[in-house]
């Protein structure tokens, strides 16, 4: 059975060994409210970027109300639900991608975490 070559559709390629090209990559992870995820993902798709979505819970001063039983009672949770949308981009494209994400959020708040990618290696 022949091994298929896997490639991501946005100028990022995996290598069999560490390479210099992938050292210039950055990982963007955006923490947003669940209702803004669709607009953010469609904005990334328009730029030719794929993304990974994580469900997370945030423990802070904000609280969410949840119904209990058959909807007759409510209680406040000690956390709020958020989504993390992560993608990988070239270092040169960070400003453009972040500004497009900001437009997609349409005034909603979000936090962008930018971290270096040491390498993308196929295992």
pTM: 0.68
**pLDDT at residue number 39:** 92
H runs (alpha helix) in the chain = 37-46, 94-105
Share of the chain above pLDDT 70, in %: 63
- Cβ neighbours of 63 (radius 10 Å): 13
- Provide the CATH topology of domain 32-116: Alpha-Beta Plaits (3.30.70)
> Rounded to whole angstroms, how far apart are CA atoms 102 and 64?
25
Every domain of the chain and the residues it spans: 32-116
> Rounded to whole angstroms, how far apart are CA atoms 117 and 102?
22
Give tens-digit pLDDT for 90-113.
888 899 999 999 999 988 888 899
Give tens-digit pLDDT for 14-32.
555 555 655 678 899 999 9
Distances (CA, A) of 36 to 40, 83, 95, 97, 109: 6, 9, 20, 16, 10
> Rounded to whole angstroms, how far apart are CA atoms 37 and 104?
9
């Amino acid at each position: 059975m022949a091994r298929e070559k896997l490639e991501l559709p946005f100028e990022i390629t995996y290598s069999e060994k560490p390479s210099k090209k992938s050292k210039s990559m950055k990982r963007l992870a955006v923490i947003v409210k669940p209702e803004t995820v669709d607009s953010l993902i469609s904005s990334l798709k328009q730029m030719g970027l794929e993304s990974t979505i994580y469900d997370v819970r945030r423990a802070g001063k904000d609280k969410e109300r949840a119904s209990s039983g058959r909807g007759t009672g409510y209680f406040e949770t000690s956390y709020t639900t958020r989504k993390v949308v992560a993608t990988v981009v070239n270092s040169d494209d960070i400003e453009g991608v972040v500004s497009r994400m900001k437009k997609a959020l349409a005034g909603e708040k979000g936090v962008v975490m930018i971290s270096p990618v040491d390498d993308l290696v196929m295992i």
